[in-house]
Chains A and B, each alone.
Chain A
Amino acid sequence: MADVKKHDTPMLEELKKGPFPSFVDDIEAKGLKGKQECLDLLGQLELSYKHKETHWKHGGIVGVFGYGGGVIGRYSDVPDMFPSIAHFHTLRVNQPASKFYTTAFLRKLCDLWDNRGSGMTNFHGSTGDMVLLGTKTDQLEPTFYDLTHQMGADLGGSGSNLRTPSCCVGKARCEWSCLDTQAICYHLTQEYQDELHRPAFPYKFKFKISGCPNDCVAAIARCDCSIIGTWRDRIRIDQKAVRAYIHGELKPNAGAHADRNWGKFDIQKEVIDLCPAQCMWLEGETLHIDDSECVRCMHCINVMPEALRPGVDTGATILVGAKAPILEGAQLSTLVIPFMKMEPPYDEFKDFVDKVWEWWMEEGKNRERLGELIQRKSLQEFLRVTELKPIPQMVKEPRSNPYVFWSADEVPGGWDRDIKEFRKRHAA
């Protein structure tokens, strides 16, 4: 056994006894192979359980030279008891688009981290980064050098920066994808390198790209600017396959629920009646869809993937202002552009982003997300600065405020009135 010291951790021992794999086992195993940091980490966790308060302090350091993000400083407040984790900084490494990498890359990354840090990782962080957990200040620059020079990898976003853009698997593995999500993600990452690495904003800003309205990266629930694939023509219907589903020759949901007997597939009950827009109907065994009413819930396409497919005139819906804070729960994003073609070099989208950022950087309070700014200043104001035309899809609920607020330039002559002229017509 390597020369390491294991702490007495009776409470953590309890966590090993459950039916599920335990993180305690994993971290301890790593520690016993010679990583004192892992054992000290468990020791400090035991102490935190005992005291019922954390013994981590975080903040301070932000990155490597020239970067203002990518490293999250963490320090133990009991370094005398656990000296190997006195510094325990986290590095966020920008993941490849859709998280495609080779096992050779992963092995190399793990070897690097075994050498430079604790060896512990988190694949992946909520924003998608490959998270390297725990290293000392003097190892930050060498780790960054190795990452960039040996691995061709870069740090991700943290702090008041653009956070690492992330996307779903897209067209690489999914037939429903209406967008080349990897291309968009990579393009935005390269285009906004400065915003990604240097603090620019009142608070964090996230882009997420989903290829279709199934929204596998949950863009609608957690990012400031969601790019979600959609189509503006008609859902493609293969009537022969529709009949095959009706007669049980094809399994609904591609057999995903086939492990239990749910009875015979009932297209009326399981698809048509569940359509939120009620825009589908059967004539005999022919399925009809009123596409103008479709709200892109994807249910029918998910249930009958061989019969129904997204249209071919594809692009993206742009939504803004989501956030998912742990304590308050998610605020969903608001639709602002129903359809954008999203073709390289994405100038239309980047023009929109520039207007949004300019406004947010000017008006946003410290630590205020874009969605909160829109709530504070109104969607009307947001549409004015982004020069978007209001459309019915933006209306969340019927108006309850009886007053209409006009701005001066919407009223002939603005707000200036000649009081003498007024008094000629109206006695005081």
Chain B
Amino acid sequence: MAVNKEELKQKILEYATKKAKHKSKMYIKDLYKADPSAKPREIKNAANELVREGKLEFFSSGSTVMYGVPGYGKGVEEAFEEGEE
């Protein structure tokens, strides 16, 4: 189903921000739930655009890439720089 991209981005961002309060990193599949009527590829394209705009951020586990919301949980670099002795 064709979905308005801006609307979809808004839905993803709202969903991710809500979810980030409990779990700061999510898989692309989690974002599918933001709009079950949208196709996975539409979600992927919209989520990637949000990353380019700086509203979402990537986080790598080493082998898989996850999405995070800037400001929630540990950021990409700080996760490795704080609290280590």
Known: A160-B65, A161-B65, A202-B27. A77 touches B84 (CB 8 A): yes
- A75 near B80 (CB under 8 angstroms)? yes
A331 to chain B, nearest CB (A): 17
Q: B4 contacts which chain A residues (CB < 8 A)?
A: none
Main secondary structure of the interface of B (DSSP, over half): mixed
Does chain B have a CB within 8 A of A159? yes
Which single member of B27, B41, B59 contacts A62 (CB below 8 Å)?
B59
Distance in angstroms between the alpha carbons of A270 and B45 in the assembled complex = 56
Contact: B60 with A61, CB < 8 Å?
A: yes
Given A69-B65, A159-B60, the answer on whether A61 and B77 have CB atoms closer than 8 Å is yes
Hey, which chain A residues are within 8 Å of B21, CB to CB? Answer: none
Number of A interface residues at 8 Å Cβ cutoff, please give it.
37
**Residue A9 lies at the interface, judged by CB distance under 8 Å to chain B:** no
Partner of A79, one of B58, B64, B84: B84
Q: Across the interface, which residues of A come within 8 angstroms of B40, CB to CB?
A: 358, 361-362
Q: Which chain B residues (59-85) contact chain A, with CB distance < 8 Å?
A: 59-65, 67, 76-77, 79-80, 84
Nearest-CB distance from B71 to chain A (Å)? 16
Indicate if the CB atoms of B29 and A61 lie closer than 8 Å. no
From B39, B44, B64, A198 is in contact (CB under 8 Å) with B44
Given the known A-B contacts A77-B84, A160-B28, are A63 and B58 also in contact in the complex, defined by CB atoms under 8 Å? Answer: yes
User: Which 9 A/B pairs are nearest by Cβ-Cβ distance?
Assistant: A159-B65, A361-B40, A199-B65, A62-B60, A62-B58, A58-B62, A75-B80, A59-B62, A198-B48
19 A-B pairs (CB sep. < 8 Å)? A59-B61, A59-B79, A60-B79, A62-B65, A65-B52, A68-B48, A68-B58, A69-B65, A72-B60, A73-B60, A73-B62, A158-B60, A160-B27, A199-B65, A202-B28, A203-B64, A357-B41, A361-B44, A364-B29
Q: List the interface of chain A (C-beta within 8 A of B).
A: 57-63, 65-66, 68-69, 72-73, 75, 77, 79, 137, 158-161, 194, 198-204, 357-358, 361-362, 364-367
